[in-house]
Structure formats: C-alpha cells, structure tokens
Amino acid sequence: MLPEIEKLLVLQDRDRKIRALKQELKLAPLERKELDEKLTEAVKKLEAVKLKAKEIEVERKKLENEVQAKRDSIAKFQTQKFQTRKNEEFQALSNEIKRYEGEIQVTEDRELDLMESGDKAKALIAETEKETQAIKAQVERQLANITGKIEAVSAQLQELEAERATLAQAVDEDLLDTFERLFVNKSEAVVALEHDVCMGCHMKVTTQTVVRVKGNREIVHCEQCGRILYPGE
Ligand SMILES: [Zn+2]
C-alpha cells in the first residue's frame, strides 16, 4: 500500500473518532433537557395532587362552617320558641328548626364524603411524593453521569485532536485538502476497492482504475464518487 494511503487511513480513523465524540458532546444538552423536563413534570404532578387535596379541604371546611351557622340558628330559634306566646310563631320556628336539621344532615353526609376523598388525596400525595423523590434522585444521578461523560469526552477529544494535528502535518498539503473535503462531504474519504467495486459508492470502477489502484504507485480516485481508493482484497 502507498505510504500516503496508510497515513490517510490513520488520519481517517482519528477523524471518525473525533466526529463520533463531537456528536456525543452535541447530544449532551438534549439529554440534559430531557432529564430536566422529566423532573419538572414530576414536580408539576405532585403540585396538582396537593392542590386537589387543598381544594377538598377548603370545600369541607366551608361545609363545616355552614353546619355550624345552621346549628347557631337552631339554638337561636329554640330560644325564640320558648319566648314566644304566639302559637303560629311557635309553629313556624319549629318548622324552621326541622328544615335546618334536615339540611344539616345532608351537608354532613357531603362532609363525610369529602373527608373520605381527603384521606384518599393524602395517601396519593404521600405516594406521589415518594415517586417524585425517586425521579429526582434518578435525574440527579443521570445529570451527574452526563457531566462526567462530557468531561471524559472533552479530554479524549483534545488528545485526539492533538494527535490528528501531528498526523496531518506528515501528509502532503494538497492531498490533505482533498482528503478533508471528501471526509466532510462524503463522510468517508479513503475507501477500499473490493472485487472492482468502490466501497464508498458501491459502484464498479473501470478496469483502468482497478489496474491503477492495484499498482500502488499513485493516488487514485473512484470515477463515480471521487473517493480515494486503496486495494482491499
Ligand atoms: Zn466510489
């Protein structure tokens, strides 16, 4: 194999690794965002559950006050009842008391239902709090992992880029230029020629190209895709 091709293959290997590491770095903010969103969602869910419980408690308290107000009224009616001398008024007050007692019964039934709902809501809060804590711990762990990964990848990238710079210095400037352009545009710059087929574009090359590639004396490009060819088989 041509020494230039050998150099380019090493360079291409480093460039591939550099590209993969850069891709990993690019994904990190997205991964972070996803984790942040997951945590936000969990916290929101917990807040919603707490709000629901609060609403139930407010409603229950309201009913409790209603009942108390009616009991106060009944007490007042009782006093009035024994103060009045009019039979009609006495009867009217008795009716009112009876009506209020009926209403209190209905309200207290609703209050009981709400207390039951309140207990369920409290249990749900406890459960959701536990879930949220678990998610929070998991997210924090994963965020720390990402930070660690970014540090490791950055260090590796720096090392590779330094090595790559040294390797590139040993390659002819024009050839390096061609190589870099092909690598960016075609994702691979140097590919094998196997059974007369370019492994970059998977097209059969001409016999003349095959002979030149196998001759190992010059840089030969695939006439279809332009990639640099080396004898593979
Ligand atoms: Zn090709």
Residue 171 CA to ligand 1 center (angstroms) comes to 22
117-163 residue pLDDT tens:
999 999 999 999 999 999 999 999 999 999 999 999 999 999 999 99
Residue 221 CA to ligand 1 center (angstroms) comes to 8
102-113 residue pLDDT tens:
999 999 999 999
Residue 203 CA to ligand 1 center (angstroms) comes to 6
Please check the confidence at residue 224 and state whether its pLDDT lies above 90: yes
Distance separating alpha carbons of residues 56 and 64, to the nearest angstrom? 12
- The percent of residues above 70 in pLDDT, for the chain, comes to 100
Distance separating alpha carbons of residues 57 and 52, to the nearest angstrom? 9
Residue 182 CA to ligand 1 center (angstroms) comes to 11
Residue 218 CA to ligand 1 center (angstroms) comes to 17
Residue 210 CA to ligand 1 center (angstroms) comes to 12
23-40 residue pLDDT tens:
999 999 999 999 999 999
Residue 189 CA to ligand 1 center (angstroms) comes to 10
Bridge partner residues of 191 (DSSP): 229
Please check the confidence at residue 206 and state whether its pLDDT lies above 80: yes
